[in-house]
Amino acid sequence: MNTVIRSLMASLLAVMLAGCAGDPVKIASVTDVSKIDRTQGRRITAEAGGFQLLLVIPINVNSRQRRAYEELLQEAAGDEIADVKVTEQWAYGFVGTTYWTVMEATAYPRKHEVRPR
């Protein structure tokens, strides 16, 4: 009986820890600065949030960085992204906590290549 309880406790702990894993996000960097127009940079922002119900049940919490970065890429519309700033915010609610990831960046258009005639 003691081994059954230990197995159940270990399984429960494993399930709880698995819920704490977030999606890794690799933020791309500008590889060749000479190919972007640094005079035409524009600020773009994106945000994504989630809720931790009763401080135990994560609802869209672990994927918020990935979702914010995907939204940032959409805002860039194919332009190169640089100077990325990531801000995390949270606030208590009545039955849990809200978490927000805000990403700000500068989007630079690519220079148009002039082809010789």
pLDDT of residue 19: 57
Note whether residue 115 is domain-resident: no
- At residue 17 the predicted structure's pLDDT band, cuts being 50, 70 and 90, is low
In a domain, 42, yes or no: yes
Whether 80 maps to a domain, the answer reads yes
Pairing of strands 57-59, 42-53: antiparallel
- Name the H helices within the chain: 2-18, 64-76
Report the half-sphere exposure of 85 (CA within 13 A, side-chain side).
Answer: 7
Q: Could you give the 3-state DSSP secondary structure of residue 85?
A: strand
Instruction: Give a yes or no: residue 117 inside a domain.
Output: no
pLDDT for the residue 16: 62
The mean pLDDT of 76-99, rounded to a whole number, is 91
Q: Judge whether residue 97 has pLDDT over 80.
A: yes
78 domain residue, yes or no? yes
CA distance 110 to 38: 9
Residue 40 lies in a domain: yes
Average per-residue pLDDT in the chain?
84
Within a domain: 114: no
36 vs 108, residue with greater confidence: 108
Q: Would 33 be classed as within a structural domain?
A: yes
Mean pLDDT, residues 11-20: 64
Contacting residues for 78 by C-beta, under 8 A, at least 6 apart: none
Domains held by the chain: number: 1
The domain containing residue 77 runs over which residues? Answer: 2-108
pTM of the model: 0.75
Q: In the predicted model, is pLDDT for residue 104 greater than 80? A: yes
Q: What is the pLDDT of residue 27?
A: 84
pLDDT at residue 48 in the model: 95
For residue 115, pLDDT over 60 is answered with no
